[in-house]
Structure 1
């Protein structure tokens, strides 16, 4: 177990109670030089600043029209996003390039280890102090400028101790990263097995001894002989109206509103957002309780976004226009209809017939209308759903366990970095063995799913 240093002293750093007795305190301006040279992204490749650090700008990033007015970044510079809604987006750059003006670019002076500063300035304690020194009207518009940042005091050990801290953290984080990646692989395997379970049961039933017949659907093959092959338009209505239900509501009544972010890929919906009927009755998708919704736009369709609305908190609702709404008739249970939309073949075939430009492709409702599958009786659908519920509950329990373990490892990683770089624990005499792994992935976590250009947005040991 890691131990504290023998002696501590007070520090002018307001965000720290104390530092080891032999460490120094220096203002940021004494440790870095601000780099403010303006360049064009035609001459210097655009970089994105995310929680994963400084990375080449990815293809899906929101583009700026101000490419000739960017800040120069040289390999080894530390870059931090100044805006509070991008908290933790920072890191040492491994690239020459350019970043948007909302970022602060710092060149480390020769007597500091850039990697030590990388760990220190990405630590939880510093991130909170950095934004505390900013200003703004509301939290998500809070900005910290270099003029406010430069007077923050940092704890600075000797260069030799900085080097040892970096070696220690690189070693420990490589091990933590390896554990996290192993658990993520387990989750990926579980996800594939879950999909295969749904496919097998919905396409072929739960009785392996049932008599079979050719379905006549090329990709489907044989199905139970007592099932009927039908197109979905025979068992549900596509984008059915809610006009009759509207008569029971006044324009001032609140109804559930589902933006895309409140619809998951595992069938869950978040009903927390409610709006007055008068504000949503025009210009949005409409649906009723027990309808099935399918996201039609890429990549939401391919990712399986959709749900059976049996848990909708109001009898009618509205949401993003990027939905196709299915209403089950007497031949299918709503939840069984939802499971059909979760078939991998349904997603593959739908993706193949999408129309529209890149990034804006959509599945036509005609695809869903004409999708063919073997359909059992209502009674057998109910048996299949009960069987699936039991099987999927076991998957969900395993998911919960693995995600909790990843959460604990991530919390430990954050705490370890902060404790080591601020001198709460002493790693000077720890011998670092040879090891395999990459610490960088664990310093910063995953690359942001929705990365954008921000134009003026108990002890736990790892043995």
Structure 2
């Protein structure tokens, strides 16, 4: 690839061009965060860190230093002093290694990265670079043209075509590149498989170490590990078993010996590119042969239904709804009878479809279809939420802008679907619901584990920022009931005396007379402890005065100042480094510490502690929405040690919480992996790649709808500008 013949010329207007990670397609960059990769069971945060580590198979200490960095740019910089010691054949093998790194990035982050690749359509993908025209291309002339070898972009296009042609199946296993001495930390790098990734994510005995007795004594749920028994219950095909070791597998009970899933005896061509082979005896029918269109209004007394992207349709809990809504003109809402399928016209391509559990109401913006007797609506709900079918939904949808396309009834009824015999549909539904029961229990237990670990972390922080680290220190009363006693040499300070408090009014809208900025918004603060350069922040505009007053600087602390519930008030995040061009957004307060009085990191820890945050919950006022005034924030109180002691406390908290943070991250990844396994299992069963006709339920293969709700995402109230990640918003008639 070093010859001039490899140089390409691209039109910027006709290409997908990325330069920075915060751009719409910035996730394609090796510098993009949020795409962790597991190699030999080791979690590496970015493909850049993995690629740089592969330079030094003979220097494991250098590899360890590179992959331990949180920032991809820092990982790259760490490698620079050792570049002269790169493997001798580096220039010869680096493209093979980069191709492998990209495949690993995709396989480990299938949902997010494949969706990003597919959004590029058929356009050329180009990494714009100011210096490197080997991996990228340089802008020439007026910038409308880019010239270079663009090797990274071409590898991404190659990957995109494989995703289009083969889908997830091509990435259940990632083979090694043809590279000698391919090692990480002194061990040969192993072939990655989804099966092994799930197994490696399962926590082992001694997960938390002997230095965390308080965590070990916590009641960790027994179901938080994917046990051999669970592996048997899941009835997985051998190629995808989570537990593979013969010495730890639970023997199959004799009654189940013939029930293990396998392929059908024979298949035939379906004529469908997304499911080319189907079992003999299955049909391909258009949806109009399976469903009729139901349009019935005038039932205002029925409950309101909503859809979860993972678990389908459910009754909306109006009493405990965090986002209070007034439902007007309910007589215009459509009736969905129990057993009907309802789908969101604009979001069915994301899986916003499901079976109505009871008679209820959906928005007029939804389509309701009634199944004919030969159709089990639960089977088709599973089928419609597979990635292959959702891609077909896109093809049949119509609209001016791609992400606003709608799937109307007239198009839905023309779509072909796979139709097993009715009895087989019923068996598939029973089988998948049984597997969902075990997976839901596993996810619920993992969430309980995360909750325990988070509580333990908060206890560590709370004690450190209110009592310090010296158990023998003399204490003094503060006269504040919630704070109690603090070390005798500490102050009790009002925030207004140690920080400048600024409230933001910068919203997400862009205006021609304003300057472009990146917005740190409510969700960014709510979901992250730190705000950093590599985060994918929203683009908007702000006035020159707003930019001058609200641009984030090193040490700033940002906190949520209003929400639907008081518990979400006063959630802080910390800014470790200056962030030019990043502005604090609406619904947030910015606290700029006075350097000689308080460290930004200590202020962040103090505000985030349970006892200190309690005062914000008390001060927050409102009925349907709670808010803190600037006066409330300025007059909030924290316990304040001397600067040197603040530094010591911050270092100690970081060291103590690191194992807990690691355990939380592993538990979250286990949830992600078991969900990917579930998606793959459903796709295989509803398309006939796995024969479950011989399966018989066991005593544990039953779960209530309440238990199955764990399959969805944790419902978080993350601010007015953020929709729940797992829940499609149902439009309201007014």
Deviations 1:139-182 (A, max 9, x none): 22011111111122222222222222122112111111111111
Deviations 1:286-336 (A, max 9, x none): 65442222111024873353322223421x743323222222121111111
Name the structure, 1 or 2, with higher relative contact order (CA <8 Å, separation 6+).
1
Question: Counterparts of 1:101-250 in structure 2 under 5 Å?
Answer: 101-239=364-502
Q: Does 1:50 align with 2:308?
A: yes
Q: Which residue in 1 is equivalent to 2:73?
A: none
Q: Within 2, Cα distance between the matches of 1:240 and 1:171?
A: 50
**Structure 1 stretch displaced more, 140-149 or 295-304:** 295-304
Contact map agreement 2:525 2:558 (CA 8 A) in 1: no
C-alpha change, 1:372 and 1:44, in structure 2 (3 Å) is closer
Q: Which residue in 1 is equivalent to 2:604?
A: 338
Q: Within 2, Cα distance between the matches of 1:143 and 1:280?
A: 41
SS in 1 for 2:457: helix
Q: Does 1:298 align with 2:563?
A: yes
Deviations 1:216-254 (A, max 9, x none): 32222222222222222222222299xxxxxxxxx9875
C-alpha change, 1:358 and 1:312, in structure 2 (3 Å) is farther
Structure 2 residues without counterparts, runs of 5 or longer: 1-236, 238-260, 505-512, 716-723
1:267 aligned to which of 483, 504, 529: 529
C-alpha change, 1:341 and 1:91, in structure 2 (3 Å) is same
Q: Which residue in 1 is equivalent to 2:712?
A: 445
Q: Within 2, Cα distance between the matches of 1:55 and 1:435?
A: 24
Q: Which residue in 2 is equivalent to 1:435?
A: 700
Q: How far 1:411 moved relative to its partner?
A: 0.3
Contact map agreement 1:215 1:374 (CA 8 A) in 2: no
1:72 aligned to which of 331, 335, 355: 335
Contact map agreement 1:32 1:109 (CA 8 A) in 2: yes
Q: How far 1:444 moved relative to its partner?
A: 5.8
Q: How far 1:379 moved relative to its partner?
A: 0.6
**Structure 1 stretch displaced more, 434-443 or 408-417:** 434-443
SS in 2 for 1:209: coil
**Structure 1 stretch displaced more, 31-40 or 62-71:** 62-71
Q: Which residue in 1 is equivalent to 2:614?
A: 348
C-alpha change, 1:280 and 1:143, in structure 2 (3 Å) is farther
SS in 2 for 1:302: helix
Question: Counterparts of 1:355-394 in structure 2 under 5 Å?
Answer: 355-359=621-625, 361-394=626-659
Q: Does 1:33 align with 2:296?
A: no
Q: Which residue in 1 is equivalent to 2:201?
A: none
Q: How far 1:394 moved relative to its partner?
A: 1.6
Q: Within 2, Cα distance between the matches of 1:84 and 1:266?
A: 27
Structure 1 residues without counterparts, runs of 5 or longer: 242-250, 457-463
Q: Which residue in 2 is equivalent to 1:461?
A: none
Aligned residues: 444
Q: Within 2, Cα distance between the matches of 1:443 and 1:154?
A: 28
Q: Which residue in 2 is equivalent to 1:418?
A: 683
C-alpha change, 1:439 and 1:161, in structure 2 (3 Å) is farther
**Structure 1 stretch displaced more, 230-239 or 265-274:** 265-274
Q: How far 1:393 moved relative to its partner?
A: 1.8
Contact map agreement 1:135 1:144 (CA 8 A) in 2: yes
**Structure 1 stretch displaced more, 265-274 or 132-141:** 265-274
SS in 2 for 1:33: strand
Q: Within 2, Cα distance between the matches of 1:156 and 1:439?
A: 27
**Structure 1 stretch displaced more, 388-397 or 413-422:** 388-397
**Structure 1 stretch displaced more, 127-136 or 374-383:** 127-136
Q: Within 1, Cα distance between the matches of 2:729 and 2:327?
A: 10
SS in 2 for 1:429: coil
C-alpha change, 1:373 and 1:86, in structure 2 (3 Å) is same
CA RMSD of superposed structures (Å): 2.8
Contact map agreement 2:439 2:711 (CA 8 A) in 1: no
Q: Within 2, Cα distance between the matches of 1:263 and 1:141?
A: 28
Q: Which residue in 2 is equivalent to 1:245?
A: none
Q: Which residue in 2 is equivalent to 1:454?
A: 731
Q: Within 2, Cα distance between the matches of 1:443 and 1:187?
A: 14
Q: Within 2, Cα distance between the matches of 1:82 and 1:222?
A: 58
Q: How far 1:47 moved relative to its partner?
A: 1.8
Contact map agreement 2:529 2:573 (CA 8 A) in 1: yes
